[in-house]
Every structure is written in C-alpha cells, then in structure tokens.
Chain A
Amino acid sequence: MDGEELTEQETALYDRQIRVWGADAQRRLSKSHILICGMKGTVAEFCKNIVLAGVGSVTLVDDRIVTDESLSVNFLILPHENHYNGKTLAEVCCDSLKEFNHMVHVAVETGDISTFGVEFFEKFDAVIISCCSLGKKKLINQKCRKLSKRVAFYTVECRGSCGEMFVDLLDYKYSKKKLEETIECQIEYPSFEEAISVPWRALPRRVSKLYFAMRVIEQFEDVEGRNPGETTIADLPGVLKLRKELCETNSLDESQIPDALLERLLTDTREFPPVCAIIGGILGQEVIKAISGKGDPLKNFFFFDAMDGKGLIEDISGPSTRS
C-alpha cells in the first residue's frame, strides 16, 4: 500500500463497512472512478450504494429529460418542478447523490459515450451501462477492453419483476485467505459480445430461461430499431417468430423460452422498485468487490425473477473462458 491512511472522518463514517471489508479495501475504493450511463431506478439504487461506500468519483451520463415515468421509480428525483425543470436526468441525480456523501466527487458527462474515444474510458475503473441498445453495449465494452488498464464493465437491465446483470472483468487476478493460507485466484471473462455469441446448445443444461428470453427481446429491439423497453403486447407475435428462428438456429427447444415469460418481459417494461433495490444491491456489491480486489466476483450473468424469488448466477462463456 502507498501508506496513505484513512482520515479520521473516513474512519468514523466508514467504521461499520471497514469491519466488513477492511481498511485497505476502503482506501482502494476511495481512489476509484466510476462511469455510469443510463439513470433509471436500478441504476439510481446502484449509485446510492457506491456513493455511500465511498468511491473516489462517480460520473453520470444521461441526457434525457425527466418524465413521469422516471419520477416514479427513481428516488433521486424530487417531484418539485424547481428541482428538475430544464435539467437532464444525469444532472438531477447528480445533485441528489452529492448529498449522500460529501467525500465522493459526483459529476455529469454529456453526449453519446459510445462515440467517445477509447482514451475517455481510461479515466475509469468501472463502467456501468443501462438503457442502452445492443450495439452500444458491445461498442462500449470493446472500447474498455482495448485499454491496457483493466476497466471493469457491467450492464444492467430490469423489466417488471425480472432483472439481468452482466459482468466483464477481463483477466481478473485476486487473492483470498483460506484458513491460514493466501490463495491466488484468476478468472477470465468473455466480453458481452463473446458471451451472447456462445451457441445455446453449447451452454450447460438448465441455464436460466430468463437468459434466453432476454436475448430474444434484445434481438427483437435491435432488429426493430427500438429503444430498450419500448415494447408492448402487440409485439408478441413478432417476438414469438423470432424465438422460433433463434431456437432453430441454436437447436434449442422452444419450450425453454416460455410464452408467458416473453409476455411478461414485453408488457411489464417499467421497473419494479423492489427489483431495482435487489439488482442495484447486487451490482453495488460486485463493483465494490472488483474495485477493492476483495471477495469472489460473480461470473458472469446474474438473474432475478420475483416470480420464483431466485437470484442466480449463470456462467455464459465459451470453452476457453469457462471456469
């Protein structure tokens, strides 16, 4: 360690969490820089979590204006016109987040970051993307991967009672204590594009149905040129057709992607606050682990469905990166 110690203020404020992950981890967090794009309910939860955790800085990107829908699931937006009038989602959230922890620098970045150069991403230790098209997700992921420094990449998407999270930590090395020994661990992660390109028949049996369903919807939105979440029940026939095609290509039985599940994902596109809290919490934990280098990170998808209450991890990777 470089010998810098936590200030008295930090020690007092972070006492309870230092008892969880230690002072070294806290120091590393305080030097980290996080980029977050797409300020919806789940991401708001996530931002709250990492600002409280005491990261160095948080940069928010979302040029959309505040709407009723964004108000309804995002507790960072106060429903007074004075608070949000004329401001973008990022700006409004920035103002609120600053209040949670004065030691964290919160700022706004404008523009379409998928068009920014690779050097823009070098400033960050972790990048979190939400409300983004398939194409943009892949693009940003690629840019991060081009850097010599490791930039952790995450995507998160919640629809109704379901939520999905993806993690790419590239080639991640960390150590942990087991009994009296220190064990060196290494995990290789596929990029988002690599992961979703793994043929479905090559995946372990009994992979969550939600994984497949999300891929179908994602493809549909991509093909139809829709923004994420811009679907209705009227799209069901189109989606079912796409499902048929994808299942044929992948030799997967269509029953693996139930109609009912697709219907839910098409119609319940608004976020459900309890699911935001859950996914935002899991995502927060993952980013904290990756930044601090402490704890086993998950690889590489996490799913939650309030219907069955399971929060599960799926390893979607090709043979070379399968752990």
Chain B
Amino acid sequence: MASQEQLSAIKRAKVLMVGAGGIGCELLKTLALSGFQDIHIIDMDTIEVSNLNRQFLFRQSHVGQSKAKVARDAVLRFRPNISITPYHANVESRFNVDFFKEFDVVLNGLDNLDARRHVNRLCLAAGIPLVESGTTGFLGQVTVHLKGKTECYECQPKPAPKTYPVCTITSTPSKFVHCIVWAKDLLFAKLFGDKNQENDLNVHSSDTANSSEHSEDVFECRKDEDIERYGRRIYDHVFGHNIEVALSNEETWKNRNKPRPIYSKDVLPEEQTKENGNEEKGCAADDVSAMVSLSLKNPQDIWSLVENSRVFLEALRLFFLKREKDIGNLTFDKDDQLAVEFVTAAANIRASSFGIPLHSLFEAKGIAGNIVHAVATTNAIIAGLIVIEAIKVLQKDNNNYRMTYCLEHPSRKLLLMPVEPYEPNRSCYVCSETPLSLEVNTQRCKLRDFVEKIIKAKLGMNFPLIMQGASILYEVGEDLEEDMVVIYAANLEKALSELPSPVTSGSVLTVEDLQQEFSCSINIKHREEFDEEKEPDGMLLSGWVEAPVDKDNNKPIGNDESTSNALPSMETLDGDKDDEIQETSEVVEAFAGKKRKLSEVSEVTAPDPSGPSSINQNKPEKLDIDDEDDELIISDDWESFTKKKKL
C-alpha cells in the first residue's frame, strides 16, 4: 500500500485524464481505488458495442451515451465520495493552457496522434507533467514527460499512418490493402459520396483520352434504368472496361503481372442474380445487408469471385432501393454493414483481377476501418503502470521516473521492461529551439497548400498564425476584423512569392498556434521541380530525421498493413522473432545513441525550460490526412527495438 506521504500527495492531487476508452476505464478505476479524489476526464466519443469487450465500465444499455459521463457514474458507484468531472468534448477544442495549469499531472489514454501532439504542446506550455501511454493487442507502453527534464512526446518522431502513391491505387495495386483503398476512397466515394468531390477513379497513367464527360455518365444511374442493369454496368466499367484501358498501356506492365478484365456476364450469367430469396423482408433501412439477403452467414469466410460479385451487385441494389436518401452523402463508416459489404466485395473483385489473394469481410473490415485489435488485460496492466508513474510525479520523485514497455515475448526474462527516460532531444522542433526548412516552388505553391499540407497536417497546428517578420500573412481566430478576414482569404489563393509580404528563397516564416502556445520558424528555400511520385505535395519539409515507414513488415499501429493480417499480432511477431532476443542493455545502448539518460545528465545541461513560447521545431512527420484510430503510437525507439531481433 502507498506510504503516508504518498497517500497525502494522492489525496491532494488534481488529475486530468484525457480519454475514457480502453485505457481510460481501467485508469479511472485504478485511480479511484488508489485514493485519488479529484479527477477530471475528457472524451468526445460515445459508447459502441465493440467497446464492451474491454471498456468494462460500460454496459449494453449505455450504447450511444457519452463515455466520459458513463465512466464517471460507474466509478462513483464504488467510490461515491470522490469528485469526477466529465467533459464530453474534443480535447482539441476549448481547453486552453489555463485549463491545463490547474492540474498536477495529465494522464493520456488516447487513440490518435493528433490529440496526443496537441496535449503534449499544451502540457509543455503549461509546464505540467504528462504521462503518455498506448496499447495494441498484447503490447503497450507508458512514458513520462516533464518539460525541460525529459523528452517531450514529440522528441521522437512518431510513425505516420501509411500512405500510398495514387497510381498504385488507381492502376497498379499489388496488395490487398491497395484494393481496399480503391474500393473505399474511390469507388464507394464515387457512387455514394459527395458528387462534387474530386475523384481519381478514372485516372490513367497514360493520356486521358476518354473524355471525362463520357466517364461522368457512366457512374450516374440513368432515368428509368433498372437497378440490376445499372449494377452490372458499373461492374463492367470498373472491373472490365477500365482494366482493358489500363492494359493498353504496355509500359506499365513491362515488369508487372497483367491484370485480367472481369465482366459480370462471365461471372454471373443474367438469370442467377434474380434468385435472392430473403430480401424483401421488412427490415429497417439501417439493418439492410447483402450478406443476409444472400444467406452468407460467416464474416470470416473468404468468398469466391462469384460470391463477391453477388454481394457487390446486391449491396449496390440495396443502397439504391432501401437507402436512397443516403446516396450522395455517405462517407465510409466501418460500422455501416452494407458499406463494409460493398467495399469488401469490390476490393476482392479487384484483387481477383490482379491476382492478389482475397480476404474475408472480417479482415477487410479491419483494414478499411483501420481497426486496432484490443484486449482488456493489456489496458489494465498499462493503467497500473500509469498510476505508479503518476504517484512518482506527484512526489517529484525525479530519479525514479520510468518508461515501461509491456512486451508480448519476454526479453531477458522481462515482460515489463522499465527504461530510464531520456533528456530532451535538442533538435525537437516542439520543445527545443530548432528551425525547420521547407523546399517549395514559391512561384507555384499557394499559401492554401502550405497551410493545409504543412502547417495543419504535418505540424499539427489547428489554429495557425503565419508571419514574415512583422507582417501577418494568415491567421485564424474569432475576433478578427472583417477586412483582415478578406485579406487572409485572398492570401490563401496567392502563390507564396505573390503575397503582400512576398515569400521567396531565404524568407523565414514564423508560425504559431495560439491555443497550443507553440511556435516555430521555417526557413524557405525555392526549388523548381518536385518528383510527382515521391514528393506529391510539391513541398519538402526537413531538418529532422523522419520515422522509418516500414513498407512490408507489419506494425501494430492503426496502420492498414498490420490489420491485414487480422489474425493475431501474435502470429506476426512469432514470425519475425528469432530465438535470440536482444539483450536489454544492448537495446538501451542501441537507441541511446547520442541521447543521454536522465541519470547521466548533470546539473545544467538540459535546455532552459524558462523559454516558453519561443520553442522551435525541427522535424515534422509526413502525416497522411487519412489517419484515424491508432490506439498505439509506438516511438521510433520502440520499433527499432522490436525489429532488432536479428543478431
């Protein structure tokens, strides 16, 4: 049990939890049992059925309600006299530095990179200790971040969600995940999503000889067209015609296996599709399912090409027949059964065409929905470790902070491995003073692209202010004067070199996010040409080492690739593992590199923490806009550790 001093530190403490999900439920419970009496908890989500296997504070009857509120109510049942304040809100919304300053420690149980970075910056700005954590399957970790004393959360670049070159998706898929992305972001979007959205569906690597007008007609359902006919027409167009067109470009296929075109009449002779037995049952629009209609019971089965084709046509038919009002507004939602069925079928047919192995609905759903596998036990272990660190933080037990890794396979007998935290990374653009560099064509690149792709996507700033010298080029805010708003809007559409304060080679821009109280500077360098494939954004941000994005191996992070081996990460890791697990000390050495452990840092070598808002940055990551739901963010060190199994 905790000592007397520990107990009184705990009783007095005011703690902020961010996240009331898998880790959050376990954490709230353990904090309450450990004697904490003033806990605040932020979570924007509502409860779903798939949460209930581990978020044990929730019941079936709570589905749809706020996680933060229900968690609070559940814990008060066994600790009625403590104070738990829930906030059903996005942590990136209204919580500013003053809010954070009220707390003694912040404990994260988040599932996405964006929010983690945001909280990291606010904790730095407020000078409040942060305990970070993450889990996926049987793996997990807990890390402690104290401004000026240890690395901040962003000192180690975090692996960005996987991105794929456009042409791989549109023309030369080689993996099942490419087919999923095609089915989800192109075909599904085209048929059921916003018609005004740009869509690469008919992009060819050769000329765009087929007039786009002709293509537009193809996807629209014609007046009086039989849905059955329409479905087959779409099928033939994307799986037949488009493939034939792609084949006509010999260059593409010189070193690749050629796909084969597939036409519906060859797979499903006309009469067969009329045999759908169960469809006209009076089911509510929401429950409509092609699988039910076709009596395909098991989501773990891998359907044949014929079955996939049936599902494709039936799902499409059901969308038009039973969910007409949704068409034109839909974005893919992993909990939308019909959408998952459609995307699975479409991806499988495409895979079949390209000789890629087919997958079950269960697996496809995992990939398309970026589902992270999760169990209760790991979350419970991590929660226990978080509370242990939190108590140390409250006691300012500086020499004993630990980063703890929860392993699936023991390393040198250790299943829970504590490691000393490292001193701050001197090149961290978030907590140390280092400017970034940007190579860009200043005459072609618009300010808008700079804001969207660099400032927001890579630097993670939600409310940026961009200045050159004393001149403000752009800002976001509520109380801006109207004429300024007009100027900023106009600036967005201008090329960098044409801005009122021209941005050219040698310019230095200062970018700030007032909410995060975070600022950095970017040195601009003009460059004429960019490689369309490797640098599709036409911009290159540099000054730091990017986290290696492993092309083939699976990473247990909300990464498409990892969930494609939907069967246990255990199997993946077993496959990777050699019998010689690297020695603990070697691991520590390996990623210690230039960094020093906290204990080795003598008196005054850490960067001066008293320079708050002019902290500069170094290396942003290549963030894909497409990231979601990664419950585990593993640091760079961690990956090199798990990969360093070969001796």
Contacts and interface: CB of A to CB of B under 8 A. Distances in A.
B402 A309 contact: yes
Contacts of B418: 308-310
Contacts of B577: 178
A177 B384 contact: no
B404 interface: yes
Contacts of A172: none
B29 interface: yes
Contacts of A288: 377
A65 B215 CA distance: 76
A275 B384 contact: yes
Contact of A12 (B50, B77, B566): B50
Interface string B294-331: 00011110000000000000000000000000000000
Interface in B387-421: 387-388, 402, 404, 406, 408-410, 413-418
A306 B410 contact: no
A19 B563 contact: yes
Given A16-B371, A309-B418, A310-B414, A295 B30 contact: no
Contacts of B566: 19
Contacts of A311: 406, 414-417
A283 B388 CA distance: 19
Contacts of A13: 49-50, 52-53
Given A22-B567, A274-B384, A304 B78 contact: no
B26 A312 contact: no
A278 B402 CA distance: 16
Interface string B367-379: 0000111111111
B385 A271 contact: no
Interface stretch (A45-53, A115-123, A149-157, A195-203): A45-53
Given A20-B137, A270-B1, A284-B377, A306 B56 contact: no
Number of chain B interface residues as a range: 35 or more
B338 to A, nearest CB: 16
Contacts of A14: 53
Interface stretch (A72-80, A126-134, A212-220, A247-255): A72-80
B34 interface: yes
B220 interface: no
B26 A277 contact: yes
B34 A273 contact: yes
A285 B374 CA distance: 12
B383 A277 contact: yes
B413 A45 contact: no
Contact of A16 (B374, B381, B571): B374
A273 B33 contact: yes
Contacts of A20: 137-138, 373-375, 568-570
B388 A77 contact: no
Dominant SS at the B interface? mixed
A281 B385 CA distance: 11
Interface in B523-573: 563, 566-571
A176 B366 CA distance: 23
Interface residues of A, number: 65
Contacts of B371: 15-16, 19
Interface in B208-228: none
B414 A312 contact: yes
30 contacts: A13-B50, A13-B53, A16-B50, A17-B373, A19-B568, A20-B138, A21-B568, A22-B567, A53-B375, A75-B78, A79-B78, A79-B79, A160-B1, A176-B574, A177-B574, A271-B1, A273-B30, A273-B384, A274-B388, A275-B384, A278-B384, A278-B416, A281-B379, A281-B380, A284-B377, A285-B138, A298-B415, A309-B388, A309-B416, A310-B416
Interface of A: 5, 11-23, 41, 45, 48-49, 52-54, 72-73, 75-79, 99-100, 160, 176-179, 268, 270-278, 280-282, 284-285, 288, 294-296, 298, 302, 304, 306, 308-314
Interface of B: 1-2, 26, 29-30, 32-34, 49-50, 52-54, 56, 59, 77-80, 137-138, 297-300, 362, 366, 371-381, 383-385, 387-388, 402, 404, 406, 408-410, 413-418, 563, 566-571, 574-575, 577
**Top-4 shortest CB links A-B:** A311-B416, A309-B418, A277-B384, A19-B373
